[in-house]
Chain A
Amino acid sequence: KQEVTQIPAALSVPEGENLVLNCSFTDSAIYNLQWFRQDPGKGLTSLLLIQSSQREQTSGRLNASLDKSSGRSTLYIAASQPGDSATYLCAVNNYGQNFVFGPGTRLSVLP
């Protein structure tokens, strides 16, 4: 059974810092890994999707990498801003299976 963990559970950084969020999964036979952002009381917004055949994806200040063999993905946020404060979730789906979500990392970027 696929299990997804995220470290750290919470992170507080001053504005302008570069930071890394981690996502680990136990079964490497995945189709996709998707990173989401969730603001308090809101739905999930898709940030990046990495296919199993890819090693990274970039969107603006965000860069996500995927290492299937080690069961890890990282989300790198450059030059963090207070508006980046949110909970970040990763989710994976295995061949023919539904998505499994991690518990999330709660990020606070202090002005």
Chain B
Amino acid sequence: NAGVTQTPKFQVLKTGQSMTLQCAQDMNHEYMSWYRQDPGMGLRLIHYSVGAGITDQGEVPNGYNVSRSTTEDFPLRLLSAAPSQTSVYFCASSYGLAEGNEQFFGPGTRLTVL
């Protein structure tokens, strides 16, 4: 199993550009989520999904869109990048939110918006 994979590893964007961060998992997990990690702010939840076709907002959803057309994939879209979106982005997955369900994380995407 590859686990949770993310692409790209690094990305530099100019203000106003759009892009999609890719996330995939091969563990048949229903629950997937996106976090951003900033110095002094810890990990904050952007969006999450409890299954294909179902998504919802987390703590900091503004400026980001998600969709979940398959169980395996959960892409994160930046519609018009802003310098405030410079961060490290992590995708995570688990079987669900119930007792005993361990979260697994991808290696992250380091994004810089100029």
A and B: partners?
Answer: yes
Residues in A lying within 8 Å of B, measured CB to CB: 31-32, 34, 36, 41-46, 49, 51-53, 89, 91, 93, 96-99, 101-104
Whether the pair A51, B99 counts as a contact (CB closer than 8 A) is yes
Q: Which of B99, B107, B110 has the most CB of A within 10 A?
A: B99
Please give the distance in Å from B45's CB to the nearest CB on chain A. Answer: 6
CA distance A13 to B42 in the complex (A): 24
CA distance A101 to B103 in the complex (A): 12
Whether the pair B100, A51 counts as a contact (CB closer than 8 A) is yes
From B42, B90, B103, contact of A103 by CB (8 A): B42
From A42, A43, A49, contact of B102 by CB (8 A): A49
Cross-chain pair count, CB within 8 angstroms: 54
Interface of A is mostly: strand
CA distance A51 to B103 in the complex (A): 13
Please give the distance in Å from A10's CB to the nearest CB on chain B. Answer: 13
Please give the distance in Å from B52's CB to the nearest CB on chain A. Answer: 18
Whether the pair B42, A102 counts as a contact (CB closer than 8 A) is yes
Q: Which residues of B contact A43 (CB under 8 A)?
A: 90, 105-108
Closest A-B pairs by Cβ, 7 of them: A44-B105, A101-B43, A43-B107, A49-B102, A31-B99, A103-B42, A43-B105
Given A43-B105, A44-B105, A46-B103, A31:B42 Cβ within 8 A: no
